[in-house]
Structure 1
Amino acid sequence: MEKRRVQCTGGSSFSITLPKKWVEAHRIREKDSVTVLVRGTGSLIVQPPSEGVSVRRSISIDGLTEEEIRREIIALYIAGVEEAEITGRTVTKEARLAVRGSTEMVMGFEVIEESSRSIIVRNMISPEKFSFRNGIERMFSTTRSMFQDAIGAFAAQERTIAQDVIERDFDVDKLYFLILRHNHTLLQERISEEQMGVSLSAARYYAHIAVQLERIADHSVKVSQVVIENHPKLTPRLVRLLQALPRSLLPLLDEAAEFTRTVDKKRAHRILNTIQKSAGDIRPLYDEVIRHGLAGAVIVADSMDRFRGYIANMAEATIDHSFIEPGRGAESACYGVPLLIHSEYVKQISEDQHGCRAAPLWGHPPSCAR
């Protein structure tokens, strides 16, 4: 770190000199223009002319499976890459399909050029036109409908509705990836808080909320996959318990949408208190599942329990964010409430045994409650 003395020039302008090593490293010459970004913390960021150039990356897909190709491209997208060149000794038909399939999973990535040995993908969405708040609100809306329909599909054993829930998960994933992408772009200081219209701390807060919503959507998919793949038999009492779940759980999600929008810590505290007091509400569902040995239903019971944990994560993050100065950034932490897992039953019946695990999603960071 270097300290520079502020000088007054012309009676009204203030200036500082730039470090010589920095100037030489970026080959800056007299009369070149540099970019000055003002952070929410009050600090200034000086970027050399080259920083304005879009971020480009090149990856080789030789030896990679189709799944690995998808993971790589999603990772490039989340990292904020503007243009990616995918190369190989020979780009096979399967590899091309994997690349195109990956671009369909995100917003803005499009294939602009192809040859026998390379594919070039470019981002077409400007960060300045993106609203974190609107993205989060859309995630709340879609996730809510997915969760409600997944429970309804399980109770009624409606495979058509279950399949629709699974397909809607792609919409949630697209928003999730986009929020992570713009959060990383802001963290890398390739765009200013002013240009994005959001502070760095707020962007990190929204990214944390997006993770929780994506997890809820994933569990809605898991419940729907049980309907499609296992078609489990249900007792009348279990059906009644399932039908009552949305009435008790959806208001928690609605309240989370509101305290997230307003960063209202009082509401967040109320939700946490409610969740802690109602920790045993899910137990009748577990008891019914265990009593009748309903294998597929254990996934539903576990997902309902985790749903509460994800809401608690959002409430804790909101309380934290309410005390953080704009631009400082929030410390990532794993919060939640104890999950009511019946270990003796889970030992007998695992998700793997019944094929109920949700399809892998690429580029996801680890989750404390997953």
Structure 2
Amino acid sequence: MAEARKIFSSGKGSFLLTLPKNWVAENGLKSGDVVLLDIGRDKITIYPERGEREKKVARIDYEGSTLDSLIRRIISYYLAGYDSMNVKIYNDEQRNAISIASEILIGFEIMEDLGEEIRIEVFLDLNRLKPEDILEKTSRICQSMFSDFCRAFTEFDKYICSTIIARENETDKLHFLILRLLKLASDYPDVKKSLRLEGKTMEFQTVVRALERVADHAAKIAESLLMLQKPVPELCELVDFSGDMLKTAVISFFKADAELAEEVLQSCDDFFKNEEDFYGYILSKELKEALLLKTIIDSLFRILGYSSDIAEAAINLGVKEQ
């Protein structure tokens, strides 16, 4: 909630502003302590100078949890920025949930297993982790999926389809990691500054979610192709176009190039006008094949939609950086 405070002159061109007493007490500050100022164009953010961020510890006691529900609960604590979790274990299913979580969350380590309780620590060096680098790595994985799709569509290569599905798991790991970093950046201005996220948090969140969905649909396409058990070269045009739009949208985001992003949006809009032509192709197919082909086409057009989301984020970022 915004709070109005008066500015006082202290002479010789300096000005004074008092700090709220409750805020000072809640942050453990006293007279003589140092605070840091993050000075922006039209605002100043004040935050305490801390040598280390306070460790966040959670205790998870969820007796009725299933494997999936406990995994979701652990992921939620990870994304919320918790550094340590003590998880009460009631059965083998819950124990397996922790093992699975350790495989999909970067920096997540089981440090102590006491039988009825497992202690987990998250080890991440914020000085070495930069969301922009992680986002770029995620985008390269997604683009590599598309570079392999054309061969899979023309030759029906089972191995390529399997690797595409495996790469989707890697994007999930990076997706969770970036979301954790974005949450920490929103809670701690000093973390936001060290991660170089000032004024970019919302756009980064949009893009990382879009890329995660792109990878999900790419895996769905690969799974459908495996079930078809044959090539579908007729869809290579749609695959190539979707891959090109994704690549261009990502470039426009990293360059904050609004004009290039507009080209992506216009190209996608124009291409969507031909959507019925691709669906018309499946009408003469048998039911099972038609359903699998529809899944593939649906996913490719969804990917075009996510490329448009990335392009819109690029425009927003370009406006902010003017």
TM over 0.5: yes
1:319 paired residue number: 315
1:247 paired residue number: 240
Q: What secondary structure does 2:320 align onto?
A: coil
Q: Within 2, Cα distance between the matches of 1:189 and 1:79?
A: 12
**Cα deviation, residue 69, structure 1:** 1.1
**Cα deviation, residue 248, structure 1:** 2.5
1:212 paired residue number: 210
1:82 paired residue number: 83
Q: Within 2, Cα distance between the matches of 1:217 and 1:93?
A: 31
Q: Within 2, Cα distance between the matches of 1:162 and 1:242?
A: 16
Q: Within 2, Cα distance between the matches of 1:100 and 1:24?
A: 41
Q: Within 1, Cα distance between the matches of 2:189 and 2:56?
A: 9
Q: Within 1, Cα distance between the matches of 2:189 and 2:117?
A: 27
Is 1:144 aligned to 2:140, yes or no?
Answer: no
Higher helix share: 2
**Cα deviation, residue 142, structure 1:** 0.5
**Cα deviation, residue 17, structure 1:** 3.6
Task: Please give the per-residue CA displacement for 1:6-48, whole angstroms capped at 9, x wherever unaligned.
Answer: 4649x797654433333444554455x4542515453122338
TM, length-normalised to structure 1: 0.77
Match of residue 222, structure 2, among 221, 224, 232: 224
Task: Please give the per-residue CA displacement for 1:159-208, whole angstroms capped at 9, x wherever unaligned.
Answer: 22212111111111111111111111111126343222221x21321221
Q: Within 2, Cα distance between the matches of 1:21 and 1:255?
A: 49
The higher-RCO structure (CA 8 Å, 6+ apart) is 1
2:106 paired residue number: 107
Q: What secondary structure does 1:128 align onto?
A: coil
1:309 paired residue number: 305
Mapping of residues 1-370 of structure 1, within 5 Å: 1-6=3-8, 8=10, 15-26=16-27, 28-31=29-32, 33=33, 35-38=35-38, 40=40, 42-47=43-48, 52-88=53-89, 90=90, 92-150=91-149, 152-189=151-188, 191-199=190-198, 201-228=199-226, 230-231=227-228, 239-293=232-286, 294-324=290-320
Q: 1:48 to 1:194 in 2, by over 3 A?
A: closer
Q: Within 2, Cα distance between the matches of 1:183 and 1:116?
A: 34
TM, length-normalised to structure 2: 0.87
Is the deviation greater in 156-165 or in 59-68? 156-165
Task: Please give the per-residue CA displacement for 1:322-351, whole angstroms capped at 9, x wherever unaligned.
Answer: 22369xxxxxxxxxxxxxxxxxxxxxxxxx
Q: 1:147 to 1:39 in 2, by over 3 A?
A: farther
Contact 2:265 2:308 in 1 (8 A): yes
Q: 1:24 to 1:116 in 2, by over 3 A?
A: same
Task: Please give the per-residue CA displacement for 1:76-118, whole angstroms capped at 9, x wherever unaligned.
Answer: 1111112122124x4x333222112112102111111221222
**Structure 2 residues not aligned, in runs of 5+:** none
**Cα deviation, residue 65, structure 1:** 0.6
**Cα deviation, residue 266, structure 1:** 0.4
Instruction: Give 1:197's aligned amino acid.
Output: R
Q: Within 1, Cα distance between the matches of 2:14 and 2:96?
A: 57
**Cα deviation, residue 232, structure 1:** 5.1
Q: Within 2, Cα distance between the matches of 1:6 and 1:225?
A: 67
Contact 1:232 1:296 in 2 (8 A): no
How many residue pairs align between the two structures?
Answer: 316
Q: 1:126 to 1:37 in 2, by over 3 A?
A: farther
**Cα deviation, residue 125, structure 1:** 0.9
